[in-house]
Amino acid sequence: MTDTIISSATKEIAIGFDRPFAIIGERINPTGRKILAAEMAAGDFSRVVADAIAQVEAGAHLLDVNAGIPLADEPGILAKVVQIVQGITDLPLCIDSSMVSALEAGLAVYKGKALVNSVTGEEDRLEAVLPLVKKYGAAVVAISNDETGISQDPDERFRIAKKIVERAADYGIPACDVVVDPLVMPIGAVNLAGVQVMKLVHRLRTELKVNTTCGASNVSFGLPQREGINAAFLTMAIASGMTSAITNPLHTEIVKACMAADVMMGHDPDCARWIRRFREQPAPGSDGARGRREGGRRRREGAPAEGTTVASA
């Protein structure tokens, strides 16, 4: 069993083959969000705080934090966002940037073991990012493309993933700390993208024995009713062995699909998580609610609850 341990100062999350699927909240990212980007660039992080709280309440297990704003001080902003988010939640974070200096700025202030997003198979990227991952004792997302771009051949993507895992080992980073992103292509443009990913995820699990993640919403790009496509994709990906995804936990259809997949895969013993999350509570004043209140009162007063047999002395 391969477990990737990610932690904050006080909370630890294990991403693993026999673990519940890990939802990495994607909302703290200014890409495509003009208002958020402008606010972050101006030093206003109120929307970041609101997005963090909303994702925690929606059931995210980790939060991705990104500060990729053109012409802004990305390292300074990312470090600030990491500190702000760690001040309001104990969920572990995924520090996300294409800029190496920004990754280091975020890692330098992070409390715990972060997930770094990301490294690719390009030589200069490997040589820049992997030493940072080792220095700060982090885990890393490995994206399966290199100087040649994104291959349409799943075997080539597997080769690149294997190369990254091996290079990470050269730096003393174990395979359990490499989470591979097999690259999900838009199904509307590449009709076999789903089949390719399922096969690749299975190989990554059985041959490389690494955990996997992806940007789940990529699969539905350009299509209507995207949440339905995303939910179907994630359930199938989980069945194929995927162990985490960067997605939007505010979309209840997606969260339900992931939690239902955990039930089907045996990763939710006795359906306990599902029941806790979705069991309907009796309406105030109903017989069920009143019965529970009465039962609690009798137990506090030492009286037996209805239907309880009292053994004689």
CATH at residue 9: 3.20.20.20
> Residue 64 pLDDT > 80, yes or no?
yes
Average pLDDT, integer, range 243-251: 97
**Residue 302 sits in which domain range?**
283-313
Same domain, 155 and 185: yes
Same domain, 227 and 90: yes
Same domain, 7 and 57: yes
Measured CA to CA, the distance from residue 95 to residue 111 in angstroms comes to 12
Q: Binning pLDDT at 50, 70 and 90, where does residue 222 land? A: very high
Same domain, 112 and 204: yes
Same domain, 159 and 303: no
Measured CA to CA, the distance from residue 148 to residue 163 in angstroms comes to 14
The pTM for the full model equals 0.90
Per-residue model confidence (pLDDT) at position 307: 40
Nearest partner of 92 among 66, 61, 57, judged by Cα: 61
Measured CA to CA, the distance from residue 287 to residue 225 in angstroms comes to 40
Same domain, 162 and 297: no
Cα end-to-end span (Å), the chain? 52
Same domain, 221 and 309: no
Per-residue model confidence (pLDDT) at position 303: 46
Asked whether the beta carbons of 183 and 150 are under 8 A apart, the reply is yes
Per-residue model confidence (pLDDT) at position 290: 54
Domains of the chain: total: 2
- Provide the 3-class DSSP secondary structure of residue 7: strand
Average pLDDT, integer, range 284-311: 50
Same domain, 37 and 153: yes
Average pLDDT, integer, range 97-115: 98
Average model confidence (pLDDT) for the chain?
92
Same domain, 128 and 183: yes
Per-residue model confidence (pLDDT) at position 280: 81
Same domain, 56 and 145: yes
Per-residue model confidence (pLDDT) at position 296: 52
Which stretch of 89-98, 143-152, 170-179, 278-287 has the lowest confidence by average pLDDT? 278-287
Same domain, 160 and 141: yes
Per-residue model confidence (pLDDT) at position 286: 62
Q: In 188-286, which ranges are continuous DSSP H helix? A: 193-203, 226-240, 252-264, 272-278
Average pLDDT, integer, range 64-69: 98
Which stretch of 154-168, 222-236, 260-274, 280-294 has the lowest confidence by average pLDDT? 280-294
Same domain, 81 and 165: yes
Measured CA to CA, the distance from residue 143 to residue 35 in angstroms comes to 29
> Residue 294 pLDDT > 90, yes or no?
no
Average pLDDT, integer, range 35-43: 98
Which tens digit of pLDDT belongs to each residue from 113-150? 999 999 999 999 999 999 999 999 999 999 999 999 99
